[in-house]
Structure 1
Amino acid sequence: MALDAEGYIAVPPVTAFQPAFQAIVDDTLHQLRLTVGDDLHSLWLYGSVAFGTAVEGQSDLDVCLVFRHPLAPATRDSLAAVKERLTARHPVVSKIDVDKGTLSEVMDPNNLNTWGYWLKHHCRCLYGEDLSVRFNRFRPSKALARALNGDFTKVLDEYVAKLSCALPGRQQWQRAAARKVIRSTNMLRQDSDADWPATLAEHVSRFVLRYPDQEAAIAFFLAESYQPGASAREFISQLDAFRGWLVQQLEQS
């Protein structure tokens, strides 16, 4: 599990980018800086590309942008267009996800367990001020898990809507939804739990130890998180059933 010797959640070491992904990293940095201009405070990567574990053609490029001020609608539209062009130019990634926030949102004390934790423990700054140095390391906690995953019903609703409408990219939506489901199980932790799962497999292992009767259900989502094979109808059915169970458990805890 991802803890350091002092019991804090580990901060991943920065390594060289995998050669296959260097071009898209460079192109993304250049295009986004060009599009946003002086309103861009900092640009970050997170996920497998950021830390050297990406798989060609399967992994996403996960980007986080921090702006000095809220963006004008025209700039937001330009960002969306840039993302589409980058995705088309670089099939080495399955898709590009961009998280956005303003500097005031990031530094708001009310967002410490979301933005603060995320930048400190999951992101790699490529451009601008490295805000991660402003935050202390975090320890595992139930409050942290719930802050990070409390939006799971809303997020899963969005994925279900895309799958129900047969929008392009079914496999990527199923993969993303499965990963959200797995990570959301960390909300079932106890205040006394000192561990902190880092990988999807670690989330599943700790979940099965506590809920062995749900092993088959979570194994389905683990398989889908890597290589989606279920039909959209089957996936939604499994998702609705597990989500209902998870909500019930959270209400009782």
Structure 2
Amino acid sequence: MAGTVHHRGLDAQGYIEREGSLGRIPPAFRPAVAAARDRLLDVYGERLNSAYLCGSIPRGTARVGRSDLDLLVVTRQEPTEEDRDAARSLGEALDKEFPEIDGVGTLLYGRARLLSEPETYDMGWFVACLCTPLLGEDLAEDLPRYRPDSLLARETNGDLALLLPRWRDRIAASGDTDEARRPLVRFMSRHLVRTGFTLVMPRWNGWTSDLGEMAEAFAAYYPERAEALREAAELGHEPTGDARVLRSYVDDLGPWLAEEYARVHGVKTARPAG
């Protein structure tokens, strides 16, 4: 049975508070962030509408040599292949130059798409609640406020059933080494923990980005699956390259979670092609 109802991460009116700030960036990561900011301006120039920091660095929980630098880049028009190539090149250069970070992950969106109705409770929420403004216009000003309700749960993570076949393809295409599988374990572990958390988020009544706390929130409602999600939370921080873990994700935990998610919240609204 679930324990006490939580309200962590919400303001006095019950809306999810924006997490992270530039002031929380640990000193060790500030040079990498400053370089990213300057080079984004150089690379995109007038095409750049906004840029954001996401993840553990603006939350102040990043670990030197272990955490990646997560960026969201918003272009004034829909991004081109040239824009995507530039993002990859910039990420690779930053990763090589700054040993404090373990990779760079960059999301690239056009302004109109990000503010479109289909994205309001997915990428719109991500910007408004999980992203820290770094450059340009803050699009959160054009977005609603968000509660930890079933609509938000459905539109953020209600597509796991569609993702699982792609995950299987990625696993099949990965190299047969621990080193090749480790990034997949990290990515899929985190995704499953977040999906498990948002499954119970409306009942838990709060928000957290801490993987361990997400797993414990889930455990209060699904004790029979608690250990699997706790293990996934650990692997999200310290991934192994165990092929058995990946198989269990796409053959057991993932399918179960997708079915239960659809039962409780429904399936994510289909997005326009392209």
Normalized against structure 1, the TM-score is what?
0.90
Question: In structure 1, how many angstroms separate the alpha carbons of the residues matched to 2:76 and 2:48?
Answer: 6
**Counterpart amino acid of residue 123 in structure 1:** C
Farther-moved stretch of structure 1 (220-229 vs 40-49): 220-229
Report Cα offsets for 1:93-129 as digits up to 9, x if no partner.
Answer: 1111111111111221332112221111111111111
What is the match of residue 203 of structure 1?
A: 214
Q: Does 1:183 align with 2:194?
A: yes
Is contact 2:212-2:234 (8 Å) kept? no
Q: What runs of 5+ residues in structure 2 fail to find an aligned partner? A: 1-7, 265-274
What is the match of residue 130 of structure 2?
A: 122
| Partner residue of 1:92 out of 91, 100, 106 | 100
Q: Does 1:150 align with 2:158?
A: yes
| Partner residue of 1:35 out of 31, 39, 43 | 43
**Counterpart amino acid of residue 140 in structure 2:** S
* Alignment map for 1:45-60 (pairs within 5 Å): 45-60=53-68
Question: In structure 1, how many angstroms separate the alpha carbons of the residues matched to 2:186 and 2:159?
Answer: 17
Is contact 2:9-2:207 (8 Å) kept? yes
* Alignment map for 1:1-253 (pairs within 5 Å): 1-12=8-19, 14=21, 15-155=23-163, 157-167=165-175, 169-189=180-200, 194-231=205-242, 233-240=243-250, 241-253=252-264
Shift of 1:155: 4.6
**Counterpart amino acid of residue 202 in structure 1:** E
Shift of 1:43: 0.7
Is contact 1:152-1:180 (8 Å) kept? no
Report Cα offsets for 1:120-154 as digits up to 9, x if no partner.
Answer: 11111111111222333211111101211133345
Question: In structure 2, how many angstroms separate the alpha carbons of the residues matched to 1:252 and 1:70?
Answer: 35
1:137 to 1:36, Cα distance in 2 relative to 1, 3 A:
same
Shift of 1:161: 3.7
1:209 to 1:191, Cα distance in 2 relative to 1, 3 A:
closer
Secondary structure of the structure 1 residue equivalent to 2:220 = helix
Question: In structure 1, how many angstroms separate the alpha carbons of the residues matched to 2:159 and 2:121?
Answer: 13
**Counterpart amino acid of residue 142 in structure 1:** S
Question: RMSD of the TM alignment (CA)?
Answer: 2.2
1:191 to 1:25, Cα distance in 2 relative to 1, 3 A:
closer
Runs of 4+ in structure 1 over 6 Å off: none
Report Cα offsets for 1:134-193 as digits up to 9, x if no partner.
Answer: 333211111101211133345555454444333465323211210100001134338665
Is contact 1:145-1:186 (8 Å) kept? no
Percent identity between the two aligned chains: 25
1:160 to 1:32, Cα distance in 2 relative to 1, 3 A:
farther
Report Cα offsets for 1:9-29 as digits up to 9, x if no partner.
Answer: 122252242111111111111
Farther-moved stretch of structure 1 (84-93 vs 167-176): 167-176
Question: In structure 2, how many angstroms separate the alpha carbons of the residues matched to 1:149 and 1:202?
Answer: 18
